[in-house]
Amino acid sequence: MALGDQPGAEEFLTSLALSLLDKVGPFARSVPPGLGVFIVVNALGAILDRQGHVVRGNRDPETGLRRHPVEELEERLARGEAITSPFGNTTLSLVVTNQRLRPDALRQLGRQVHTSMARAIQPFHTSHDGDVLYAVTTNEVDNAALSNVALGLLASELAWDAILASGPGHPLGYG
């Protein structure tokens, strides 16, 4: 059963979204149906912009330069250095829509969006991360013109926007 079928679901989601507005960047698209993505980023991986440049994380303390994780990994392996990763990082994500979705379609939306986040966070969803995404719907709108795949595409792009804006230095940043 979708969260939207539960008594008080709309109030719960509204309250949750409003509380997140104070902590992370709000992102919503005004295409029918309503769609919002909220992300708190404390990733092990570096944050990449849409051109593939590292904009947060993986900063060399000596030079101040940010390097792509693969580039650094290849150089360290070539020098024979041991590769270790810290523990305790996580990215928490919430996708909220009012599009009517069956439970299996809602799960697939969550998979599609969470998988797409690997474009912006590299590496993503490692064995040392606690990355999680929740997808919820209020089941209020039935827009037959919007396929589940298209909804996932819109939500995935919104997730990348939210990741980029989640930290300091970004025009939309809230960190």
* Residues with a known catalytic role: 90
DSSP state of 62: T
Report helix, strand or coil for 102: coil
Indicate the burial class of 98 (C-beta count within 10 angstroms; 0-12, 13-18, 19 or more). Answer: buried
Contact criterion met (CB below 8 Å) for 47 and 163 = yes
Q: What CA–CA distance (Å, rounded) separates 2 from 104?
A: 10
